[in-house]
Amino acid sequence: MTDEEIKALVLRELSNIAPEIDSSRIDPAVNVRDQVDLDSMNVLDLMIAIHQATGVEIPEADYPKILTLNDFVAYLRPRLKDR
């Protein structure tokens, strides 16, 4: 997957969890949780949805490493290169 495809996937899953957000206004360098006011359950739902969509297991210990859309790309890109 390309970086843009990964971003689109994350934004699609984010929109499924929080349909009221305008995903076109998400700044890829700013904490997603802060931009769309996600609570901890929403974050968990997002991580599960991304796992289901990609097959990439995201351990809870890694959640603090994945704060921005750019972080999602950096985290998922090497794990998706063989898919």
pLDDT digits (tens, 9 = 90+) for 33-53: 889 888 999 999 999 999 999
**Superfamily of the domain at 3-80:** ACP-like (1.10.1200.10)
- Work out the pLDDT band at 82, boundaries 50, 70, 90: low
* CA–CA gap between residue 23 and residue 41 (Å, rounded): 19
Give the angle 62-71-11 at the CA atoms, nearest 5°: 105
* CA–CA gap between residue 24 and residue 50 (Å, rounded): 19
Global pTM value: 0.90
* CA–CA gap between residue 48 and residue 45 (Å, rounded): 5
> How do residues 43-81 score in pLDDT, each as one tens digit?
999 999 999 999 999 999 999 999 999 999 999 999 998
